[in-house]
Amino acid sequence: MMTAAYIAVMAVVTYMIRMIPFTFFTKKIRSQFVKSLLYYIPYAVLSTMTIPAIFYSTGNYITAAVGTAAAMILAYFDFPLIVVALAASSSAFVTGLFI
């Protein structure tokens, strides 16, 4: 019973944070600075999440570095998301077999 209350609080707080700005902010932003800021934020967020975390992501620096290199090369040549993601994982896996 108590666990259900915990889960409900988690769900409601998390949902409200996502829902309120998404639903009620319907105005178009005019400021060029804010527009530029919102334009760059996704890339900054992704970069922050990826580096340095990607090097810790497999529990082994060598397999992670190989996976990162594979992903970088394929991403550079514009391969689809799924191809790059699977290449990172499978090259890390194969490297893991040898060390």
Partner 1 sequence: MIKKKRKTQSDFFRGAYHGIPIGLGYLSVSFGFGITAVGSGLSVFEAFMISLTNLTSAGQAQGVSVIAAGGTLFEMALVQFIINIRYALMSLSLSQKLDKRFTLIHRLIASYGITDEIFAVCSAKEKILKPMYMYGIIAVSTFGWVTGTFLGAAAGEILPGSVVAALGILLYGMFLAIIVPPARKESGILFAVLFAALLSIICRIFLTNISGGFTMILCSVAAAVVTAVIFPKKEDTEE
Contacts to partner 1 from residues 53-92, by CB under 8 A: 53-54, 57-60, 63-64, 67-68, 70-72, 74-76, 78-90, 92
Our CA dihedral for 91, 82, 37, 49, rounded to 10 degrees, sits at -40
CB of 76: closest distance to partner 1 in angstroms? 6
**20 touching partner 1, by CB under 8 A:** yes
Of these, 1, 3, 62, 98, which contacts partner 1 (CB under 8 A)? Answer: 3
Candidate residues 1, 28, 61, 98; the one interacting with partner 1 per rule CB under 8 A = 28
| Among residues 52, 61, 62, 98, the one that binds partner 1 under rule CB under 8 A | 52
Cis-peptide into 52, omega within 30 deg: yes
Q: Tell me the angle at which helices 61-76 and 81-98 cross, rounded to the nearest 10 degrees.
A: 150
The helix (H) or strand (E) run that includes residue 20 is helix 2-24
Residue 34 CB, nearest approach to partner 1 (Å): 8
User: Whole-angstrom Cα distance, residue 97 to residue 39?
Assistant: 41
Smallest distance from the beta carbon of 8 to partner 1, in angstroms? 8
Total binding residues for partner 1 by CB under 8 A? 74
DSSP SS3 for 50? helix
